[in-house]
Structure 1
Amino acid sequence: MKATLDDLDARILNLLQEDSRRAYGDIGRQVGLSTTAVKDRIDKLRDRGVLENFSVSVSVGKAGFDVVAFILVGIDRPADCALFEKQVLAVPEIQECHHVAGAFNYLLKVVTRNLSSLEHLLSTRIKMPDVVSRTETTIVFSSVKSRGMLDCTLALE
């Protein structure tokens, strides 16, 4: 279901993505609404599922994690996908899991302390015998952009 945003909703979402701790009054001043009106709009965006959560962005390297990797995962039998997805949900090092088109079924983003922990994760938690038929791992050297803001005004065009 496509969410319908108006200009004020889009601008409020953009401001919250910049700083989710921003006060309603500050948002109201920037978009021309009262504090109460901003709170009501944010509540409605949350109720409609447009605004999923408020979160904190942690610096991977400064928190002690030296390896970010993307892993493509191939599964030959479609019936095994549900088992793999269940496993993914139980592994905290897997930050993202996307079901994708192409030669592989899934694209994972993983964060680990070091290469040894990445190797252990791959061999014990991702390469599930009799489920995963192949993997391909790409290790990130550095990131130019790792967390993009969704410009909600683009949905208005």
Structure 2
Amino acid sequence: MRPAAYKIDELDVRLVEILQKDSSTPAVKIAGMLKVTEGTVRNRINRLRRQGVIRRFTVSIDPMALGQGAIAFVLLNAAPGRTAEVAKRLALIDVVAEVHETHTYGDLLLKVRAKSPSDLADIIASRIKAVPGVAGTQVITVLNAWKDGA
């Protein structure tokens, strides 16, 4: 059960913006930026975590540096009544960066990263299409990423 919601104020918004840019920013530095005490920053962060506003702290990596230069978006149709099950299974595949349910062109939209176009083709054929309940796919291969949230 989720704790009772509280109103997010301007200080919370500014705190979250700082953490989104770099979640490793020390609380004392954030306190100076926001002109509040370090205790206030720590209390706000803890409260935002309890409320589920901040879900986790993570690392943002450069996929190209890890050899994941090939990107594709996969429009996927699931068998009737199996969309949630298929989505959960696809989300477990390490190279599937994103899974979104859609209602326009198919049931799910995936963002997939791979080492090369041939690796990408292999992943789609042997891992994505092999998931029980996948009824069909359409692949959009990315040539250039002008802005990529990774």
TM-score, structure 1 length as denominator? 0.85
Q: In the alignment, is the contact (CA less than 8 A) between 1:3 and 1:50 conserved in 2?
A: no
**Contact 2:87–2:108 (8 Å) recurs in 1:** no
Residue of structure 2 in register with 1:135 after alignment? 137
**Alignment of 1:61 onto 2:52:** no
Q: Secondary structure at the match of 1:14?
A: helix
Query: Does 1:18 find its partner at 2:21?
Result: yes
Equivalent-residue separation in structure 2 for 1:118 and 1:94 (angstroms): 11
CA distance in 1, matches of 2:148, 2:132: 33
* Percent identity of equivalent pairs: 27
**TM-score, structure 2 as length reference:** 0.88
CA contact (8 A) 2:89 2:131 kept: no
- Structure 2: tracts of 5 or more residues without a match: none
SS in 2 for 1:143: coil
* Deviation >6 Å, runs of 4+: none
Higher RCO, Cα 8 Å, sep 6+: 1
Secondary structure (helix, strand or coil) at the match of 2:66 reads coil
Partner of 2:25, secondary structure, is coil
CA RMSD of aligned residues (A): 2.0
Q: Alpha-carbon deviations, 1:27-71, whole Å to 9, x = none? A: 111112100110000010011000011111111111111211111
SS of alignment partner, residue 147 of structure 1: coil
Structure 1 SS opposite 2:65: coil
